Amino acid sequence: MTLSSKRAEYVALASLTLSVLFFGIAFFVGRWSGFFPVSAASWLILSAALIWLLLVIQFHQRALAEQEKLDMSQLAGDERASTIFQAKGERATMFAIAQRRLEILEKWFIPIFSAAIAVYQIAVGLHLLNAILAAAEQQTKQPLICAICMTAIAFVSFLISRYATGMSAQPQWKPLRAGGSILLAVAILCFTLAVSLALVQFKILAVVNVIGFLIPILLLVLGLETALNIVLDIYRPRLKDQYSRTAFDSRLLGIINEPGGIFRTLASTIDYQFGFEVSQTWFYKLLEKAIAPLVLFAAVTLYLLSCIVVVAPNEQAIIEHFGNPMKDADSVRIVGPGLAFKKPWPIDIAYKYPTKKIMEISIGFVPKLDPRTGEPEPEPLLWGKAHHEHEHMLLVAGEQTIEKLTAGGVPINLLIAAVPVQYRIKDLYSFIYNHSEPEKLLESICYSELTRFAASAKIEVDESSTTNESLLGAGRAEAKRILTENIQAAADKAGLGVEIVFLGMQGIHPPAEVAPDYQKLVGAVQKKQALILNAHAKRNRDLTALAGSVAAVDRLYTLATEYQAAKKQNNSQKITELGNELDLAFTQSKGDIFKTLRQAQSHAFEKATLAQATGQRFADQLKAYNAAKEVYKRQQRLVVLEEALENIRKYVIVGDPNDYQIFEIDLQEKLTPTLYDLTGYEETKEK
């Protein structure tokens, strides 16, 4: 009779030794190279070593129990043995010390050790997850050496896993399935890690970063599953002489380790539900035989689909051949929208970028995002309050001189800049390969150009300014144009391959604390400009009303100035010429000058005509006087009386000298007329 548990003990001991060795290799290689996933994989291998340690103890105790049973059976069969060994029942079991130890081990020690493994996996998983979230980017080296080490660990772990899983098919070796499952997970993870480390040579870091997150998550899942199994084992009934699956034997890893077990479990469930052996039907047997080819065919089909690249209408795709970015070597191909074909991954790798899409970066501020949609919240740009999550300040040149500054003051101003910059990719190759982080470089260029421009610009443009470069007010349009050209020139010089489509200058305002003072300043400047513009408008209006146009007034002023200068110089010829030109200019002028000249001419004509008519009338009157002096005098006297008494009320009284009748005349004006004064009826009747 042989001891079956002894073989399993040797396998578990060899696996434990190799697991500890692999832990040391992965740990020190990870620390030496700086790759966090390699160091994290070492802690997963250590959890596998803990499982193998428990299996070594379990199978060692089983071997002792089997040896004890063998010894007791030999003693019971010996005729010269003591009668105590010939007894049956309780007296014989009193000497089964190894059996009792095995029962205690499997009833108490294994669950307690399983809980310790669960605590270890959860604690290490949380520690690694916090470490990778809080860790800064560190320098890494020799990814190929790390890949070789991971490949060796994966290969040996896979062999041991397959061997242990094969042995676990026997009922007495079923606990080996737990070690085989965890080693298969280590093998798959290390092989994937080796491939990702090889891709690091081609600057592909996404896969190795994903594995860095995957290892802590896997440890957390395994730890939580083990803890759940421990709780369920408390309520699970245990049958004598029937194998009870241990808590640290992962059911999730068992699905990967033994895919056929899923079908067997499913078949048993269907058999129990339907009351007949469905697993013995031809369809189930066909499915069980064809499942592997079908899965392989699906995997190959999915792999071949990597030869097809679908490019959206607003995108361009750049295809690398073996990760070579050299455009002149025809190793990079750029394709437009539509369907394109390439060699399968990882020979050719396609990267798609939205070259037609307008992208935006926020310069000088961090937008406040809506917690529900994740989009920036639209808010009115008010000077009196902050409207972004974070806002940066700019130093703007001040207009104060040293003499006007107060003690401790500096000739600068502070402004908050919230400038959105929209751009699109115009050269995809330059955007991807000229710089490792083109978006951050473009953001740095925008900050640099905005800071340089603000240091030389002004807040407002006034009449004394020689340039229209300002951040507020009338010069904003010119500032936007200049700043856009500067950013575009800097981006082209850096070889970014982008086009600046839009730059918004509407988000520049003073800090909220000093916004009222800025408003007063801007209001004063605007008022000053308004007064200047109103003065210009009044000047143009008055000059236009005076001479018809500003140009005509300027010409008259020039001629008048030259005429006065010529008079001072006593230059008669020039005085004559300028006088003629000045007269002609006045004649051709319009407006008030034209009106005044025409009125003067009309008044002169009227005076001359009246004087001539008066002289002619006097001559005629003299002739009439000479012809009849008395008649002329009487006529002129009557004319004078007629003209003088035209608006005076007159009373004519004719009386006889011999008549002594007295007439009383009331010369006061009556306020209320009498009936004799009413003449309306007679006038109406006459009409």
Phi and psi (nearest 5°) for 346?
Answer: -100, 20
Total domains present in the chain: 4
Residue 493 lies in a domain: yes
> Are 88 and 165 found together in one domain?
yes
Residue type, 310: V
Mean pLDDT of 56-68: 84
Distance CA 72, CA 98 (A): 12
Residue 562 lies in a domain: no
Residue 155 lies in a domain: yes
143 near 33, Cβ under 8 Å? yes
Residue type, 538: K
Both tokens assigned to 12: 């578990």
Query: Is the pLDDT reported for residue 26 higher than 80?
Result: yes
Residue 611 lies in a domain: yes
- Cis bond upstream, residue 346 (ω within 30): yes
Mean pLDDT of 97-109: 79
DSSP three-state, residue 611: helix
The per-residue pLDDT for range 248-273, each reduced to its tens digit, is: 787 777 777 665 555 555 565 565 55
Mean pLDDT of 115-128: 90
Residue 595 lies in a domain: no
> Are 380 and 245 found together in one domain?
no
DSSP 643: H
The per-residue pLDDT for range 580-630, each reduced to its tens digit, is: 777 777 777 777 777 777 788 788 888 888 888 888 888 888 888 888 888
Burial-class residue 546 by CB neighbours within 10 Å (0-12, 13-18, 19+): buried
Q: Of the candidates 349, 88, 18, 57, which has an alpha carbon nearest to the alpha carbon of residue 199?
A: 349
CATH number of the domain within which 465 lies: 3.30.479.30
pLDDT at residue 21 in the model: 93
> Are 88 and 235 found together in one domain?
yes
Domain boundary (338, 357, 376) is at 357
The per-residue pLDDT for range 495-508, each reduced to its tens digit, is: 888 888 888 776 67
More confident residue, 119 or 518: 119
> Are 342 and 376 found together in one domain?
no
More confident residue, 83 or 227: 227
Both tokens assigned to 312: 């959206």
**Residue with the two structure tokens 């620390």:** 31
Distance CA 669, CA 672 (A): 9
Give residue 110's domain range: 4-257
> Are 349 and 474 found together in one domain?
no
Residue type, 290: A
Residue 80 lies in a domain: yes
Q: Of the candidates 174, 179, 149, which has an alpha carbon nearest to the alpha carbon of residue 162?
A: 179
Phi and psi (nearest 5°) for 394?
Answer: -115, 145
Q: What share of the chain is helix, strand, coil (3-state, %, to 5)?
A: 65, 10, 25
156 near 244, Cβ under 8 Å? no
Which band of pLDDT confidence, cut at 50, 70 and 90, is reported for residue 373? low
Q: Tell me the whole-structure pTM to 2 decimals.
A: 0.45
Distance CA 260, CA 257 (A): 9
Query: Is the pLDDT reported for residue 79 higher than 50?
Result: no
Residue 683 lies in a domain: no
> Are 279 and 227 found together in one domain?
no
Both tokens assigned to 185: 């997970």
pLDDT at residue 401 in the model: 47
DSSP three-state, residue 45: helix
Distance CA 681, CA 4 (A): 157
> Are 437 and 335 found together in one domain?
no
> Are 325 and 378 found together in one domain?
no
% pLDDT > 70, the chain? 70
Distance CA 263, CA 284 (A): 9
11 near 161, Cβ under 8 Å? no
Both tokens assigned to 511: 């800090």
Both tokens assigned to 648: 């005076």
> Are 520 and 426 found together in one domain?
yes
Domain boundary (203, 235, 257) is at 257
Mean pLDDT of 83-101: 57
525 near 473, Cβ under 8 Å? yes
> Are 286 and 377 found together in one domain?
no
Query: Is the pLDDT reported for residue 107 higher than 70?
Result: yes
Which band of pLDDT confidence, cut at 50, 70 and 90, is reported for residue 23? very high
> Are 24 and 108 found together in one domain?
yes
DSSP three-state, residue 397: strand
Domain boundary (257, 288, 317) is at 257
Cβ atoms < 10 Å from Cβ of 463: 8
Residue 244 lies in a domain: yes
Burial-class residue 322 by CB neighbours within 10 Å (0-12, 13-18, 19+): exposed
> Are 350 and 377 found together in one domain?
no
